[in-house]
Structure 1
């Protein structure tokens, strides 16, 4: 298998992490639209179309599978995320 030069590996890592963050954002939006969450100044229109939800979940699962294959092929390491540190970053 082709070994990516170390000075270029960070690009593959960043792409994988960015894509996974976007997929996670989509999942969070689905949760917000499908489940009653505590809201004050935002109100999400509920998704009532179960077929649409199922299709979205199928597509998300397919994208996660492709991302997993990408990570294996390009040796993208798993990044451990600390909850407290992530909250601090979002707060700033």
Structure 2
């Protein structure tokens, strides 16, 4: 068996359970289905479905852009400014 790495994803339990039933009918596990999707994405150099349409269908107009996602990640890493007021904030930003 080839060497593998673990890829984690946070999925609501009801979605995971429903997907498990669908993939079971096709004779594959969720892990195998994800591996197939990623392999196909690499082979075709694009995902096997329209990502923008899927995001729009799933999230509507509440899809965060790349800059917003990077800001969320910066906050999680603790890279945030703490200021007592607007003058203090600008002092920190300009220093």
TM-score bracket, normalised by the shorter chain, equals under 0.3
- The structure with more radius of gyration: 2
Greater relative contact order: 1 or 2 (C-alpha under 8 angstroms, separation 6 or more)? 1
User: Which structure has more helix as a fraction of its residues?
Assistant: 1
TM-score for the superposition, normalised by structure 1 = 0.23
